[in-house]
A and B are shown apart, each in its own frame.
Chain A
Amino acid sequence: MTTANSGNMEHDTDFAHEGHGDISVGVSGAGASGDGSASATRITPGNALRPEDIALEVRRGTAKPSEDVAEYALRLGDDALILAQRLGHWISRAPELEEDVALGNIALDQLGHARSFLTYAGGAWDKSEDDLAYFRREHEFRSAHLFEQPNGDFAVTIARQLVVSYYQYALYSRLMQSADPTLAAIAAKAVKEVDYHRDHSAQWVLRLAGGTEESRRRMIQGLRLVWPYVEEIFEDDELTTRLAERGVAALPSSLRQEFDNRIAETLAEAGLDVPDVPQSLGGGRAGRHSEHLGYILAEMQVLAREYPGASW
């Protein structure tokens, strides 16, 4: 029994010749009781809200967003989607293999949030997540400029991650109490994930700021590059004001204080100042984007648009 971990496992793995699709295959040796069941490779899909669950609710009509809620979900979904698209580019290019995996996890989290929000938003217009992601044009996207900023070097990406994750953590923490149960459910799943993203970016800010002269210079430069786009994400408009009054949305400006406090704490620990740079005018929520988004969409949408109506 004591050899079950290493010994038996190896003999229980002849699964490929019979087919090997089920993720629980090959673990029968670890099913015993006592110490023998201690295994570092027992894998399960877990149980959490998935975009597919939301799609099902939308189809059944149990979750149907109003026009306003859909428009709000579209903003959150577009932010996450554009960021996931940016982060996806890092995989196979990260500074170390461990970081390929770390950035991949963050990109997958963001993509998951995007799919959930877009699926829900689509419920108002009878559109799927893919209709919204692949067949809208630039001016129809509602993402803020911050998310479309180029990856730059690793420090720029970390600076962008710092702002995004601190913002999203404040946002989703509040949205968990949204009067809209679907938004609240998506936020409840997402908040734990962005909490980890927050930790990831803070750890790297510390290391880059306190590492070598070069890394410190790059970190400072990275923060300066992304900071002009901070203000836009905290701007209120008619939509968010209406929804906040009904307890559905978190008023962006109301998240600013918590964001500023926590950012100031992290940057102070790293011996860095909050960059003092002019704030960009933004306009993403109204479909006015930077020059970057066109290229992002061109790449993201090219194949889907080549085969309109096709299923993948």
Chain B
Amino acid sequence: MASQNLQSVPAELSPEEVEREKAGQAYFERIIAEDSRIEPRDWMPEAYRKTLLRQISQHAHSEIIGMQPEANWITRAPSLKRKAILMAKVQDEAGHGLYLYSAAETLGQSRDKMMEDLIAGKARYSSIFNYPAVSWADMGAIGWLVDGAAICNQVPLCRASYGPYGRAMVRICKEESFHQRQGFEILLELSNGTPAQKQMAQEAVNRWYAPSLMMFGPPDDDSPNSRQSMAWNIKRFSNDELRSRFVGMIVEQVKVLGLELPDKDIRYNEETRKWEYGPLDWEEFKNVLAGRGPCNSQRLERRRQAHDDGAWVREAAAEYARKQAEKEYAA
């Protein structure tokens, strides 16, 4: 493990190792410049590895925590068809978390460690999942707005410079193509239903609109790491760019729904050719991110409990495998 230790203590590099580091750096830069892919065993700068690890694990955590607000409605889904769809969707999210943890593991972090950090409150996940899903219409709004925003973010990441991350995103984007549509259809059905159902749908859109816009992250002038991530091709468009695109999409889609977006300031700026929107409450965003959202502790507690309750099962299976391997070895 020589090269890795030496990376953090450059003074101890031998002349040959210095050469190798230089060659690695040059190769890395060429790959990035060519918009090609870095693969797990390639040389990479420590900061690149750390940034990726943070980004991918946060993404994985978001999928896993994001299962909760929707899982809460599986047992109450108002029709059997919707129950099946929702179950399949929440199950997909577990799968997406798994794909992403696997990608993160290629960077040398064990999934156990990542899970431990999440449960200990040391890791971040998308703060939107700290809001409660209080009505069935929230299943629609989460699918349409939250998954919609996520897809906007994720599709460019299919071309992320880190190979395992890009490949995980390809699989995720393919599978998610139904998530947003099913959410849209839930809202459409409600909007065309009874007045009470329509009101339920409008209230859900009102609740999830601003948080979904904030999913793209802070404004560009307040997003210090973005520039480096874009230079490394692990972020393809700026937060504001993606947010503006997203607003442009939903502003049309909401008309089909027969609902309204709770933002009177949405307009298309002919000069900048960008969609503009009203002010977002970044104070609230920071508060929720800092753990003061309505559901932060509830979400982590539920994850901790599932993990702890499952410990004896994981141990049992590992122990059984060990015994079987021993038996095979003896025979």
Q: A residues engaging B (CB < 8 A)?
A: 6, 9-11, 13-17, 20-23, 25-27, 41, 43, 51, 81, 84-85, 88-89, 91-101, 104-105, 107-108, 111-112, 114-115, 118, 129-130, 133-134, 153-154, 206-208, 210-212, 214-215, 218, 299-300, 302-304, 307, 310-312
Evaluate whether A26 and B67 lie within 8 angstroms (CB atoms) in the complex, with A93-B309, A95-B313 already known.
Answer: no
User: Which residue in B75, B87, B154 is a CB contact (below 8 Å) of A299?
Assistant: B75
Q: For the complex, would chain A's binding face be called helix, strand, loop or mixed by DSSP majority?
A: helix
Chain B residues lying within 8 Å of A299, measured Cβ to Cβ, are 75-76
User: Which residue in B88, B309, B310, B318 is a CB contact (below 8 Å) of A108?
Assistant: B88
Nearest residue (CB) in A for B171 is A41
Are A10 and B170 in contact (CB-based, < 8 A)?
yes
Are B91 and A108 in contact (CB-based, < 8 A)?
yes
Chain A residues lying within 8 Å of B159, measured Cβ to Cβ, are 10-11, 13
Chain A residues lying within 8 Å of B81, measured Cβ to Cβ, are 51, 115, 312
Nearest residue (CB) in A for B322 is A211
Task: Please provide the 5 A-B residue pairs with the shortest distance between their CB atoms, ordered closest to farther.
Answer: A95-B310, A211-B316, A215-B316, A104-B91, A95-B313
Q: B residues engaging A (CB < 8 A)?
A: 37, 64, 67-68, 71, 74-84, 87-88, 90-91, 94-95, 97-98, 101, 136, 151-152, 154-155, 158-159, 163, 166-167, 169-171, 173-178, 180-181, 186, 189-190, 193-194, 196-197, 245, 302, 305-306, 309-320, 323
User: Which residue in B67, B74, B174 is a CB contact (below 8 Å) of A23?
Assistant: B174
- Please give the distance in Å from B179's CB to the nearest CB on chain A: 10
- Please give the distance in Å from A148's CB to the nearest CB on chain B: 13
Chain B residues lying within 8 Å of A211, measured Cβ to Cβ, are 315-320
Residue from B101, B169, B302, B314 with most neighbouring chain A CB atoms (10 Å): B314
Nearest residue (CB) in B for A104 is B91
Are A20 and B173 in contact (CB-based, < 8 A)?
yes
- Please give the distance in Å from B80's CB to the nearest CB on chain A: 5
Residue from A133, A211, A212, A302 with most neighbouring chain B CB atoms (10 Å): A211
Chain B residues lying within 8 Å of A212, measured Cβ to Cβ, are 312, 315-316, 319
- Please give the distance in Å from A135's CB to the nearest CB on chain B: 12
Are B155 and A13 in contact (CB-based, < 8 A)?
yes
Evaluate whether A91 and B74 lie within 8 angstroms (CB atoms) in the complex, with A21-B177, A21-B178, A210-B320 already known.
Answer: yes
Chain B residues lying within 8 Å of A9, measured Cβ to Cβ, are 167, 170
User: Which residue in B37, B94, B158, B319 is a CB contact (below 8 Å) of A101?
Assistant: B94
Chain B residues lying within 8 Å of A92, measured Cβ to Cβ, are 67-68, 71, 90, 94, 302, 306
Chain B residues lying within 8 Å of A93, measured Cβ to Cβ, are 71, 302, 305-306, 309
Are B316 and A302 in contact (CB-based, < 8 A)?
no
**What is the bound-complex CA distance between A52 and B313, given in angstroms?**
38
Are A218 and B312 in contact (CB-based, < 8 A)?
yes
Chain A residues lying within 8 Å of B84, measured Cβ to Cβ, are 108, 111-112, 115
**What is the bound-complex CA distance between A189 and B316, given in angstroms?**
33
Chain A residues lying within 8 Å of B82, measured Cβ to Cβ, are 312
